[in-house]
Amino acid sequence: MTQTFGASSTTDDVLSGVSLKGKRVLVTGVSAGLGVETARALAAHGAHVVGAARNLEKAEHATAQVRADAEQGGGRFELVALDLADLGSVRACADKLNATGLPFDLVIANAGVMATPFGHTKDGFETQFGTNHLGHFVLVNRIAGLMRAGARLVNVSSAGHRFADVDLNDPNFEHTPYDPFIAYGRSKTANILFAIAFDARHRARGVRAAAVHPGGILTELTRYMPAGGIEAMVARINEQAAAEGKPPFRFKTIPQGAATSVWAGAEAEADAIGGHYCEDCHVSPVVPDDQPISLVSAGVRAYAVDPAHAEALWAKSEAMVGEKFS
């Protein structure tokens, strides 16, 4: 690592003095929150950023500052339509990107939903697993040929992966009682496992992949939380922190939350982050599955970085979407 950053580092801290001119980047979920800030920071440092969003009108308004900073920093910004809950839209987006033939140096799979009511994507998958994992699984694999040597994939996961491992026998909750945070946990674990498997497949040609936890940030991602739900969660976290003699929890700002994605994608050494889970701008330690861990402790569960488990999820994902990817 060329510099040391931490939990309070921002996107501008991470990219200070870094020129991304000549780099082309895809960021999903640029209609709000972390996606907008991620796109802004990269474009402000000279990158050509392609932002993907389901609602282009909303994204157009949300990214006004992205365009302004891109113009000032010598970068470029454009939008492309992508609905991760509709594989028809995902495939159309990939086809459009492939038709240009323009390569990518970085893909940041940032978009997602959290703790949604029970429902299904257009293709019949449980909403969170289908949107957060399968949509990105198909998109990234379909454009993998555009990722040139030296390119990186960054999957935005979460400490929420600790809520649950993936369930390869019942991914759509057909036989399991639905719990919104268990479903979220499964999808975030899948984001990590996908990065592990993608890295294993592409590292020989110089393409690396990592998963990141942005930290606790108040964004639109929390819109499905019940009234008082966030406050209650923070109270529980602080109660545990006090018992351990730790300071109370503090939310990150959006620029702090997007920093780890930007760090893993554009500043950290590729071999250091490839095949790993990162948080607070560093590679996280692996925590054994039987060891207690709180929601705000550092570390990634062992089940989320197990290569054999990653391969099993890859095979299951291929079967679910009806496509094979090398």
Per annotation, catalytic residue among 178, 184, 224, 303: 184
CA dihedral (269, 274, 278, 280) in degrees, to 10, reads: 10
Closest CA relative to residue 209, chosen from 137, 159, 289: 137
Could you tell me whether strands 208-213 and 147-156 are parallel, antiparallel, or unpaired per DSSP bridges?
parallel
CB 253 within 8 A of CB 217: yes
Contact residues for 111 (Cβ-Cβ < 8 A; gap 6+): 28, 29, 35, 52, 53, 54, 82, 84, 131, 135, 136
Is residue 114 within 8 A of residue 179, CB to CB? The reply is no
CB 220 within 8 A of CB 33: yes
Q: Is 184 known to be catalytic?
A: yes
Q: How far apart are CA 229 and CA 56, in angstroms?
A: 30
| Burial class for 117, CB neighbours closer than 10 Å (0-12, 13-18, 19+) | exposed
Active site residues: 184
